[in-house]
Amino acid sequence: MAHRHVLLVALAVLATAAVAVASSSSSFTDSNLIRPVTERAATALESTIVAALGRSRHALRFARFAVRYGKSYESAAEVQRRFRIFSESLEEVRSTNQKGLSYRLGINRYSDMSWEEFQASRLGAAQTCSATLRGNHRMQDANALPETKDWREDGIVSPVKDQSHCGSCWTFSTTGALEAAYTQATGKNISLSEQQLVDCAGAYNNFGCNGGLPSQAFEYIKYNGGLDTEESYPYKGVNGVCHYKPENAAVQVLDSVNITLNAEDELQNAVGLVRPVSVAFEVINGFRQYKSGVYTSDHCGTTPDVSVLDPWSSK
């Protein structure tokens, strides 16, 4: 039987204010996220785009983008439509980055997708989390709060994973928080199963590839008795039948802690003094091309549709 660790560790957080994110999982420089494209297919794709758009500088840049991300367009009309969206995305990146904000945008594999397409394919259904209306985080000594804290520097934050075309970000936020807690407690790295949460956590108001919340995922793990490793229950990126095996459980959750909705002081305290935190928030259009830095927005909605792991805090 696999050795299990009981963790009183998970911080389930719903925050609709400014959020610090480790890094984008799909920046223009991330070669590991590019689907393989044969040289012949790449040449054919570029030729199709040039035939539809001509050989202007922007058209050639779009062709390189399409090849880099393994795009496939069905017609000249679609090429033209995607090029218009790409051009708008490029202008948004340029204009935003010229403002000297605390974050930067970048061209990524979503840059030829409309906001509506991005919402449908990458975001889960909007969630309502009553657990955060009254949090139960016990504030640590504020005098001990560092000016900044980046848990990646402590080596407890797992590498970025790819959820593919499944609205399962809530599962990656959950496993990321647990993996950090496990490494913090044991000094050992671990990769936990997102697919188990996709397949098995439905009774706790989660919906697989259609969305869910880390707070509800922690409850599932707590009452289910454990979470398998990635190796024993690998990620598929589609809804499936639950085949959890207790003998493969690597961690258990004794309890979780909720941070009050919009309580930035609680969030800062938890991330600065305890460990990385699962955060759910409502995505706006600008976040689609996030690349680096601390993302901020004046628009803070209350219907979260994406979850991330927050490993960084600043006073």
Cα–Cα distance, 34 to 188 (Å, whole number) = 30
**Section 121-130 average pLDDT:** 60
**Ranges in the chain annotated CATH 3.90.70.10:** 122-288+301-309
Residue 7 is predicted with a pLDDT of 42
Instruction: Provide the whole-model pTM.
Output: 0.71
> 37-112: what CATH class?
mainly alpha
Asked whether the predicted pLDDT for residue 313 surpasses 80, the reply is: no
The per-residue pLDDT for range 148-161, each reduced to its tens digit, is 889 999 999 999 89
The per-residue pLDDT for range 145-203, each reduced to its tens digit, is 888 889 999 999 999 898 888 889 899 999 999 999 999 999 999 999 999 999 999 99
- Can you say whether the dihedral through the CA atoms of 22, 237, 211, 218 is positive or negative? negative
The per-residue pLDDT for range 11-58, each reduced to its tens digit, is 333 222 233 333 334 343 444 444 444 555 567 888 888 888 988 889
- State which fold the 122-288+301-309 domain adopts: Cathepsin B; Chain A (3.90.70)
Residue 142 is predicted with a pLDDT of 72
**Ranges in the chain annotated CATH 1.10.287.2250:** 37-112
